[in-house]
Amino acid sequence: MLNKRFSRGLIVSATALGLVACGGSSDDNANEQMARFSLAVSDAPVDNADAVVACFNAIELVGNDQGSQVFTIGESTNTIEPNDVCKDASGNTIPNTVGIDLLSYTGSDSVNLVDGIEVAPGTYGQLRLEMSEGSYVQVGEEQLPLRVPSNELKFDGVTLDVAGNASYTVEFDLRQAMVDPVGIDGYFLKPRGVRLVNNLQIGHIEGTLAEELLITNSCTVAPSDVSEPVAVVYFYEGSDLEITTLADVGGAETHQPYAVAAVYFDGVSAYTFSVGYVAAADYSAAWTCQTDDDPEADDDLTFNGVVNVSVSGGEAVTTVDISG
């Protein structure tokens, strides 16, 4: 069973391995210093899906004079246990894969793919997340394929310091990354909206949107189906941004969304949203009652308001109250 983990990611710590042999040479007695890392995944959810299952096969580190180091699920030590979720076209389980429902790990929750793998410290030019066939989106009783171009997600490199700690998480912002192409069966998962973040330099956002604002702007209030969003909050890098310069996902305006969060009724009185693994910085947060945004089109969204948000690092939680 996969366990939720709070604020886990690519965790790097330096470990000195002292190899001492009686009567050995100075080379035999040399300390070989290694770094450890763990890589986790998390998600910002998408509407109208009951499950978004991504099939992972391996993690690859490239560079640092080490060539290509591949850590395969179920083969390499300290990887997550494989499961039987990912199937090929014939219905057979794909070996060395783990299928994870990304909707089970939202906000600050995450799950490790690898945990404590030892590698040489230094700068790696690229980190690659190898996917497999078998990913899918569950909508009611219908299971639709989820395809990843080249079955691979590529990220900028990471630096693993001797005697240092670094922590990274792959955050899937599905409202931006998951698209439904016209005329093609199923969905595509695109690199846009999938980001690799350093947990030492990120925070989490938890927010509320005032019901009075929803009523004033003729938005949906207190829906009977609490799984349906009543509004959406878009986050843009930089404070005091003009509302007319803010683009929707796929829009042509000056400022593109950094992250997107749906607002849900809690069934009692509050309207809440959350975003996990946000880089420490200043943001403009704009909200709208229009909950449909085609990531492949320039939609005509009307933003009802915008507020400044400052996110601190160290995995701190920033509380946002949109009430005016």
How far apart, in whole angstroms, are the C-alpha atoms of residue 33 and residue 78? Answer: 19
Q: Under a CB-based contact definition with an 8 Å cutoff, are residues 155 and 94 in contact?
A: no
Taking only the tens place, the pLDDT of each residue in 40-72 is 999 988 888 999 999 999 999 999 999 899 999
The tokens describing 45, both together, are 């959810």
The single residue listed with the structure tokens 């069966």 is 185
Domains along the chain? 5-192 (no CATH), 204-322 (2.60.40)
Q: Under a CB-based contact definition with an 8 Å cutoff, are residues 248 and 208 in contact?
A: no
With a pLDDT cut of 70, the percent of the chain lying above it is 89
- How far from chain centre, in Å, is Cα 308? 23
SS3 212: helix
Q: Under a CB-based contact definition with an 8 Å cutoff, are residues 9 and 107 in contact?
A: no
Give the model's pLDDT for residue 56: 98
**In this structure, what is the dihedral angle of CA atoms 110, 113, 115, 117, given to the nearest 10 degrees?**
-150
The tokens describing 64, both together, are 């640092």
Residue 89 CB-density burial (10 A; 0-12 exposed, 13-18 middle, 19+ buried) = exposed
Going by pLDDT thresholds of 50, 70 and 90, the confidence category of residue 23 is very low
- Averaged pLDDT, 276-302: 94
How far apart, in whole angstroms, are the C-alpha atoms of residue 144 and residue 136? Answer: 5
Q: Identify the weakest region by mean pLDDT among 11-20, 200-209, 256-265.
A: 11-20
Is the whole model's pTM more than 0.85, yes or no? no
The tokens describing 91, both together, are 């219905």
Taking only the tens place, the pLDDT of each residue in 118-158 is 888 899 999 999 999 999 999 999 999 999 989 999 999 88
Residue 7: phi and psi, rounded to 5, are 55, 50
Q: Identify the weakest region by mean pLDDT among 12-26, 60-74, 231-245, 259-273.
A: 12-26
